A and B are shown apart, each in its own frame.
Chain A
């Protein structure tokens, strides 16, 4: 039941993009096509889960015991950026197909605040490791849901006869606003 609440809360009620405003850069940046947004979602799922596990261990076994939690920001960002590099190198060797699919998105992920945001939220909510992993996976699923829906709409948007000033980013943002409005309907599910 507890896990169920975490999952529904993360995917629908507090959707990472549409309610918490994390990961907006890739949301606007790589959502022009459904296929690229699927690739990005895969990369986010992968890195977000790994990053949450590693930062959880660092927080609970290094920062907290040594009473240096003020180094949280600095250590998290270093861990996340080196993790992304490592994943890139390992993926290239172990699974070239997966690298083909996710490779170009990995460098973009370091500056994706969704990764760091979820890592910080895991600490803030005082989750244990298992809850943190479920939390990270469901947030990644929420990201995927939001960006793939959005890309589907944007593909159609390109064919519309919009006023010139609205084309591109402004139209995309207004659409995102309407999607956010739709997601507010999930309020109170948990």
Chain B
């Protein structure tokens, strides 16, 4: 597999959210708007990048039996770094993502990539894998956030699409819309996957 395939697999073919069904909690919880989805996606990408990078470097120094706890510590450190940095420089985004920032630590996607990929491959592959998977995750969250924002508030990234219309179909901003929107996006990605395969 060349590095381009390694990168691009995360976008559609192995999209973490819609194909692998990983990290569904933040994908549903924070995507009330496209901006929040993008912010969460990029925060997760950063954690993924950091943990994949460090894990692939130190993989030979870690005895196999304490591998998982070590990975957990590494991931949790990067999550805390993101948490503190975001609170300092993007307080509004930090507030709207809330609880889901510390919960990146239990996102199966991050642990899964560290265990299944970074601990076996060289550093370059691990970094590219993290970028691809992270951006795939960010893409997924931005799409769901965008869909919910367009239908629920008639706006995208905070820009009104229909002048004067501020209340959209509210159900899409509320909890049920998250589940239903994601259901239909899964159908879309399954279709895209079949097309590109």
- A-side residues, CB < 8 A to B, are 18-25, 28-29, 70-74, 76-78, 81-82, 110-113, 115-117, 120-121, 124, 165-166, 169-174, 176-178, 180-181, 183-184
Assess whether A116 is in contact with B175, with CB atoms less than 8 Å apart.
no
Name 11 A/B residue pairs within 8 A (Cβ), A-sorted: A20-B29, A21-B26, A21-B178, A70-B84, A73-B83, A77-B76, A121-B99, A169-B21, A177-B178, A178-B180, A183-B175
Q: Are B178 and A116 in contact (CB under 8 A)?
A: no
Shortest beta-carbon distance, B169 to chain A, in Å?
A: 13
Rounded to whole Å, the gap between the CB of B14 and the closest CB of chain A is 15
Which residues of A are found within 8 Å of B175, using beta-carbon distances?
18-19, 21, 177, 180, 183-184
Residue of A nearest to B186 (CB): A170
Contact of A73 among B105, B111, B176, B191 (CB under 8 A): B105
**Any A CB within 8 A of the CB of B86:** no
CA distance A98 to B183 in the complex (A): 35
Q: In B144-176, which residues have CB < 8 Å from any A CB?
A: 171, 174-176
Q: Is B77 an interface residue (CB 8 A)?
A: yes
| CB pair A177 B179 closer than 8 Å | yes
| Separation of A171 and B187 alpha carbons in the complex (Å) | 10
**A116 adjacent to B28 (CB under 8 Å):** no
CB atoms of B183 and A171 under 8 A apart? yes
Judging by beta carbons under 8 Å apart, are A184 and B183 in contact?
no
A25 near B80 with CB under 8 A, answer no
B93 on interface, CB distance cutoff 8 Å: no
B171: chain A residues at CB < 8 Å are 181
State the Cβ distance, A19 to closest chain B Cβ, in Å.
5
Nearest CB in chain B to that of A73: its residue: B102
Q: Contact: A173 with B76, CB < 8 Å?
A: no
Contact A177 B106 (CB under 8 A): no
The answer to whether B187 and A120 have CB atoms under 8 Å apart is no
For residue B24, CB closer than 8 A to chain A, the reply is: yes
**Chain A residues near B180 (CB-CB < 8 A):** 173-174, 177-178
Q: Which of B24, B84, B102 contacts A25 (CB 8 A)?
A: B24
- Which residues of chain B in 104-152 are interfacial with respect to chain A, using CB atoms and an 8 Å cutoff? 105-108, 111
Please tell me which one of the listed residues A20, A70, A184 contacts residue B80 in the complex, with CB atoms under 8 A apart: A70
What is the distance, in angstroms, from B150's C-beta to the closest C-beta of chain A? 17
A166–B180 alpha-carbon span in the complex (Å) = 12
Asked if residues A77 and B72 are in contact (CB atoms below 8 Å), the reply is: yes
A78 to B182, CA, bound (A): 31
Inter-subunit contact A23/B179 (CB<8 Å) = no
A71 partner residues in chain B, CB cutoff 8 A: 80
Report how far A94 CA is from B73 CA in the complex, Å: 30
Q: Bound state CA distance, A173 and B179, in angstroms?
A: 5
| Contact between chains at A120 and B102 (CB < 8 Å) | yes
Asked if B63 is at the interface (CB within 8 A of a chain A CB), the reply is no
Partner of B103 from A117, A170, A174, A184 at Cβ < 8 Å: A117
Beyond A113-B106, A174-B180, 20 extra complex contacts between A and B, CB < 8 Å: A18-B175, A21-B178, A22-B29, A24-B24, A28-B21, A72-B102, A74-B76, A77-B105, A81-B68, A82-B69, A117-B103, A165-B187, A173-B179, A173-B182, A174-B183, A174-B184, A177-B176, A177-B183, A184-B175, A184-B176
Residues of A contacting B79 in the complex (Cβ-Cβ under 8 angstroms): 73-74
Chain A residues with CB under 8 Å of B21's CB are 25, 28-29, 169
Task: Return the CB mask of B24-57 against A: 1 if under 8 Å, else 0.
Answer: 1110110000000000000000000000000000
Q: Is the CB of A116 within 8 A of B105?
A: yes
A180 contacts B106, C-beta separation under 8 Å: no
Q: Which of B53-92 contact A (CB under 8 A)?
A: 68-69, 72-73, 76-77, 79-80, 83-84
